[in-house]
Homo-oligomer: A and B are copies of this chain.
Amino acid sequence: MPRRSPPSGPSIEVLRLGHRPGRDPRLTTHLALAARALGAERLWLHPPDPAIADRLEAVARRWGGRFSVEGCVDWRGMIRRFDGVVVHLTMYGRPLPALLPKLRRARRLLAVVGGAKVPADVYRLAHLNVAVGPQPHSEVAGLALLLYALHGLPGPERWAGAQQRIVPSARGKRVRRAR
């Protein structure tokens, strides 16, 4: 840990409930950045927030890959119709390690992340309620650990089309332009 792994395992989308447009957007932005950096394909936001979609589109244009943020109005319908395994991340759920083998076998996975005031029926609508740990820990941390457990860190091929990339260095910031 962290390790790179081949892109085996499910393709992952994230559904974020309880976003609050008009409040400080940093928390949802961080959730979106973590989702993208750790290999999710898409973040669905309920309620929709075009400002965050635009911000992440700018990130993807600069740093590569195809991640997008989409609005979701009918989140219950989306969960019901999702063509794969729906995993609700909650500290009240069953421990992740026991469920990992099952999750890794899925073809598609929808990770639902809420926050303190998630509607109670999420627990019933999701196929699995999964805990990264039985302590309050932030949905950003929970999502990061789930994605990492499923996929490891994405390799550089994930970031095709980037305008720039980081050259890892011991001191300071080194960035190389694509051309």
Main secondary structure of the interface of A (DSSP, over half): mixed
Tell me, in angstroms, the Cα distance from A135 to B160 when the chains sit together. Answer: 13
**Given known A-B contacts A34-B140, A135-B63, A170 and B27 have beta carbons under 8 A apart:** no
Among B24, B36, B97, B173, which residue has its beta carbon within 8 angstroms of that of A3? B97
Tell me, in angstroms, the Cα distance from A129 to B97 when the chains sit together. Answer: 30
- Rounded to whole Å, the gap between the CB of A104 and the closest CB of chain B is 11
- Residue in chain B with minimal CB distance to A63: B135
Stretch from A46-54, A76-84, A143-151 contacting the other chain: A143-151
- Chain B residues closer than 8 Å to A2, beta-carbon distance: 95-97, 132-133, 145, 149
- Rounded to whole Å, the gap between the CB of A63 and the closest CB of chain B is 6
- Contact-residue size bin, chain A (C-beta under 8 Å from the other chain): 35 or more
Tell me, in angstroms, the Cα distance from A33 to B135 when the chains sit together. Answer: 9
**A3, A34, A97: which has the most chain B beta carbons within 10 Å?**
A34
The reply to whether the CB of A177 lies closer than 8 angstroms to some CB of chain B is no
Does A36 contact B141, Cβ atoms closer than 8 Å? no
- Rounded to whole Å, the gap between the CB of A108 and the closest CB of chain B is 21
Interface residues of A (CB under 8 A from B): 1-3, 23-24, 26-27, 30-31, 33-34, 36-38, 59, 63, 90-97, 100, 120, 123-124, 128-129, 131-141, 143-145, 148-149, 153-154, 159, 165-166, 168-175
A-B contact pairs, 5 of them (CB 8 A): A2-B97, A27-B27, A36-B135, A93-B170, A140-B141
